[in-house]
Amino acid sequence: MAELYLGNVEESVTEEEIAEFLIRYGFPRPSSVQRVPGSGSRPAAIVLFDDVSTDGLRLLQPRIHNVFWKNHTLVAQLLPERSED
């Protein structure tokens, strides 16, 4: 499972809107989207992909990093793989 951190995604943006945006840029459909609570100045989401390796996601990430979407410049970063232990 690969995880992508998307910074500057307003809480009002739905999971479906995030999925459609990513698909438009060549990503597969995400398995799930988790919101990251914050102070409100930098809302974020963690997008999980069950069918994509971290290396595969690394090739796609530059397509959306620093893209202006919904009045914000997105920050897209890969999260390190977590151990299942």
Return the pLDDT at 73.
95
The ranges assigned to domains in the chain are: 2-78
Return the pLDDT at 45.
95
Element (H, E) at 59: helix 54-60
Residue 5 CB burial class (10 angstroms; 0-12, 13-18, ≥19): middle
Return the pLDDT at 17.
97
What is the C-alpha end-to-end distance of the chain, expressed in Å? 15
CB 22 within 8 A of CB 30: yes
Return the pLDDT at 1.
84
- Whole-structure pTM value: 0.89
Element (H, E) at 23: helix 15-24
Return the pLDDT at 80.
87
Return the pLDDT at 3.
95
Alpha-carbon distance 12 to 82, whole Å?
A: 28
Q: Which CATH number fits domain 2-78: 3.30.420.40, 3.40.710.10, 3.30.70.330, 3.40.50.2300?
A: 3.30.70.330
In the chain, which residues have pLDDT < 50? none
